[in-house]
Chain A
Amino acid sequence: MIRSFAEWFEQAEAAGVSLAEFVERREVKETGVPREAIRKRIEDTLTVMRGAVAEGLAESATSPSGLTGGRSGRLAADGPRLLGDDFTTMLSRAIATLETNARMGLIMATPTAGAAGVVPAVLLTLAPLRGWSEERLVDAMLVAGGTGIIIADRASIAGAGGGCQAETGSAAAMASAAVTWLEGGDSQQVGTAVALTIQGMLGLICDPVAGLVEIPCAYRNASAAVNAVASAEMALAGLDFPIPVDQVVDVMGDVGTKMDVRFRETALGGLAATPAGQEIAAQAGMTELVQLQRKGRTKGEGSARFGPS
Chain B
Amino acid sequence: MTTLFDILGPRMVGPSSSHTAGACRLGYVAQAILGGMPDRAVVGLHGSFAMTGEGHGTRIAITGGLLGHTPDDERLRGAEREATEKGLEIEFSTVDLGDDAHPNSAVFEVVRGAERIAITGCSIGGGQIRVLEIDGFAVDLSGSLPTIVVVADDVPGTVARITGLIAERGLNVATVRVDRTGRGERALMTIETDEDVPVTVLEELAAQSWVHWIRNVHRLNA
Chain A contact residues, CB within 8 Å of chain B: 1, 23, 27, 30-32, 38, 41-42, 44-45, 48, 63-65, 100-114, 141-142, 144-146, 148-149, 152-153, 156-161, 174, 208, 210-214, 261, 264-267, 284-286, 288-289, 292, 299-309
Contacts and interface: CB of A to CB of B under 8 A. Distances in A.
Contacts of B10: 108-109
A52 to B, nearest CB: 9
Interface string B86-110: 0000000000100111111000000
Contact of A23 (B4, B17, B126): B4
B13 A27 contact: no
Given A104-B76, A212-B56, A286-B55, A113 B17 contact: yes
B54 interface: yes
B14 A265 contact: no
Interface in B107-166: 124-128, 130
A119 B101 CA distance: 32
B52 interface: yes
B209 to A, nearest CB: 33
B214 interface: no
Contact of A308 (B16, B56, B128): B128
5 contacts: A108-B9, A113-B21, A149-B6, A152-B6, A211-B55
A300 B124 contact: no
B51 A289 contact: yes
Contacts of A265: 18, 48, 52, 103
A100 B74 CA distance: 13
Contacts of A48: 11
Contacts of A306: 102-103
Given A32-B194, A285-B54, A152 B99 contact: no
A300 B103 contact: yes
Contacts of B4: 23, 27, 31, 38, 142, 145-146, 149
Contact-size category for B: 35 or more
Contacts of A302: 99
B47 A157 contact: no
B189 to A, nearest CB: 21
A32 B55 contact: no
B104 A160 contact: yes
Given A107-B12, A299-B96, 13 more contacts: A27-B4, A64-B55, A65-B55, A101-B15, A113-B21, A114-B16, A114-B17, A158-B124, A212-B52, A261-B103, A286-B55, A307-B124, A308-B124
B81 interface: no
* The 4 nearest A-B residue pairs measured at CB: A158-B125, A211-B52, A101-B14, A148-B7
Contact of A106 (B52, B55, B74): B74
Contact of B16 (A64, A113, A264, A303): A113
Nearest to B104: A160
Contacts of A152: 2, 6-7, 126
Interface string B200-211: 000000000000
Contacts of B194: 31-32
B57 interface: yes
A302 B18 CA distance: 21
B14 A102 contact: yes
A73 B79 CA distance: 30
Nearest to A99: B14
B8 A300 contact: no
Contact of B2 (A107, A110, A141, A308): A308
A100 to B, nearest CB: 7
Contacts of B127: 109, 112-113
B12 A106 contact: yes
Given A104-B13, A149-B2, A306-B102, A156 B55 contact: no
A163 B54 CA distance: 21
Contacts of B128: 308
Given A212-B52, A266-B48, A45 B15 contact: no
A304 to B, nearest CB: 8
Contacts of A292: 51
Given A113-B12, A303-B99, A149 B195 contact: no
A246 to B, nearest CB: 16
Nearest to A171: B7
Given A32-B195, A267-B52, A104 B3 contact: no
Interface string B14-39: 11111111000000000000000000
B16 A111 contact: no
Nearest to A288: B51
Nearest to A174: B7
